[in-house]
A and B are shown apart, each in its own frame.
Chain A
Amino acid sequence: MNLFQFLRPVKSAPVARERLQILLEYERRMVSQSALITVLREEILAVVSRHVTIDPERIHVKIDRGDRGSTLAVDVEIPDRPAAAVRR
C-alpha cells in the first residue's frame, strides 16, 4: 500500500454497477424460468388429464440448466388402476 492510494479517490460506483448487472441477469432468468415452469406444468396437466385421471399434486416439472443446454424433466405419477383411465 503506498501513499498514492490514499490520495486517489475510491471509485466504488463501477463496482456497484458491475455487481448489479451480474446479479440482475441471474435473477431475471430465475424469474422467467419459474414463470415458464408454471405454464408448462398447467398445460402438461391439462393434456395428461384428458386421457388419465391424475392427482394435480403429483406432477413435477423441473428445468436443469447445464453449460451446453438445459434439460426439462417432467414427472407425472399415474395411478396403476386401469379403471382410472378416462373413457371417451
Chain B
Amino acid sequence: MGKVIVVTSGKGGVGKTTSTAALGAAIARTGQNVAVVDFDVGLRNLDLVMGAERRVVFDLINVVQGVAKLPQALIRDKRIETLYLLPASQTRDKDALTEDGVARVIAELRLRFDWVICDSPAGIERGATLAMRYADEAVIVANPEVSSVRDSDRIIGLLDSKTARAERGERVEKHLLITRYDPGRAARGEMLTIEDVLEILSIPLIGIIPESEEVLRASNIGAPITVCGHDSPPARAYNDAARRLAGEALDMMVPGEKKGFFNRLFGRRAA
C-alpha cells in the first residue's frame, strides 16, 4: 500500500506545484513508483511544470466520474519511467470532484504506487479540502513572509480536524518546507529566519529551498528542478527533502549558516 502525501499551503504562489514536481521526481528517481496528482481543477499547472501539457488526454474528473479508467488518464514521465502524472481537468470546475469519487481514485492509486503526491490548489475550499482529505502525511509549503505563515497556520488547523485521519482520531504527519528563502536578507533582519517560522508554526522542518533563478528556468523548460538542475542549490535542497520524506535522517543545512548551530536547533524542533 502506497503512502499518500498532500502538498498544501493555503496561500497561492508559494511553490506547491514546483515542490510536488521536484519531490515526486526525486523519489521516483530512486526506483519507487510515484504518482503526482493535480487537484487544481480549472487551473491545472502540474502538467506544464512537468512538461507533459501536450500529452493530456483524460484527467482526474474523467476518472472520478468513470468516463475513463485510471491507467488511461495516467501520463508516464518521459525522463523517469517510474513517475506518473494524473492531471486535473482544465475545463470543469471543482464541484465535479466528489468525496466518494476522490476516495475511490486515491484507493486505486494506493494499490498501484508506492507514493501518491497530491498537489493542492490554493485556498481552503472544496478542491483544497479534498486534496488533503485522504492524506497520510502533509508537506506544508511556506515562504518566510507574514501572509504565507498565517495561511500555513490555518491549513495546519484543517489538517488536524477535516481529514479522514483526523476524524478517525489519527494524526496526519506534517512537514514544513520553507521555499524562497534568502539567507542574506534573513541575516540582515529583512526576512523571517528559519528559527522564527519554526517557532511560530511548531511543526518539524523537512527542507529549506533557497531563492534561486534555477527554479524559474526549470519551469520554463518544463522539467522538475530535481531533474534538470542536478547540482543547483534548490535541486540539492529538494533532493534532501525527498530523502527525509522517505524517512532518512539527514543533517539540515540552513543556506549561509554554520552547520553546528542549526543542527542543535533542528534536533530540538524535530523531536
Residues of A within 8 A of B (CB): 9-14, 16-17, 19-21, 23-24, 27-28, 31, 35
Closest Cβ–Cβ distance, residue A10 to chain B (whole Å) = 7
Question: Is there an interface contact between A21 and B190, defined as CB atoms closer than 8 Å?
Answer: no
Q: List which B150-206 residues lie within 8 A (CB) of chain A.
A: 150, 153-154, 157, 161, 186, 188-193, 196, 200
Q: Does B146 contact A (CB under 8 A)?
A: yes
B193→A13 contact, CB < 8 A: yes
**B186 touching A21 by the CB < 8 A rule?**
no
A9 contact set on B, CB distance < 8 A: 188-190
Q: Collect the chain A residues with CB atoms within 8 Å of residue B150's CB.
A: 20, 23-24, 27
Known: A23-B150, A24-B200. A17 touches B192 (CB 8 A): yes
Nearest residue in B to A11 (C-beta to C-beta)? B189
Distance between B90 CB and nearest chain A CB, rounded to angstroms:
34
Given contacts A13-B196, A27-B154, is CB(A20)–CB(B189) below 8 Å?
Answer: no
B149 at the interface (CB under 8 A from A): yes
B89 to chain A: closest CB distance in Å? 32
Q: Of B145, B146, B153, B192, which one neighbours A27 at CB under 8 angstroms?
A: B153
Residues of A within 8 A of B146 (CB): 16, 19-20
Q: How far is the CA of A23 from the CA of B150 in the complex (A)?
A: 8
Would you call the interface of chain A mostly helix, strand, loop, or mixed?
Answer: helix
Query: What residues of chain A lie closer than 8 Å to B145, measured between beta carbons?
Result: 16
A21 lies within 8 A of B154 (CB): no
Chain A residues whose C-beta falls within 8 Å of the C-beta of B186 in the assembled complex? 13
CA distance A21 to B161 in the complex (A): 22
Q: Which of B154, B157, B200 contacts A20 (CB 8 A)?
A: B200
What are 6 A-B pairs at a CB distance below 8 A? A11-B189, A13-B186, A13-B190, A17-B192, A21-B200, A35-B161
Interchain CA distance A12-B191 in the complex, whole Å: 7
Contact indicator B157/A28 (Cβ below 8 Å)? yes
Q: Closest Cβ of chain A: how far from B55's Cβ, in Å?
A: 42
Given A23-B150, A27-B154, A28-B157, are A16 and B188 neighbors across the interface (CB < 8 Å)?
A: no
Distance from B255 Cβ to chain A, minimum over Cβ atoms (Å): 16
Determine which of B153, B190, B196 lies in contact with A11 in the assembled complex, contact meaning CB atoms within 8 Å.
B190
Q: Given known contacts A24-B200, A31-B157, A35-B161, is B149 in contact with A13 (CB within 8 Å)?
A: no
CA–CA, A20 to B143, complex, Å?
Answer: 14
Q: From residue A27, how far is it (CB to closest CB) to chain B in Å?
A: 7
A13 touches B189 (CB 8 A): yes
Instruction: State the Cβ distance, B253 to closest chain A Cβ, in Å.
Output: 20
Q: State whether A20 and B149 are in contact (beta carbons under 8 Å apart), knowing that A27-B154, A35-B161 are contacts in the complex.
A: yes
Residues of A within 8 A of B154 (CB): 27, 31
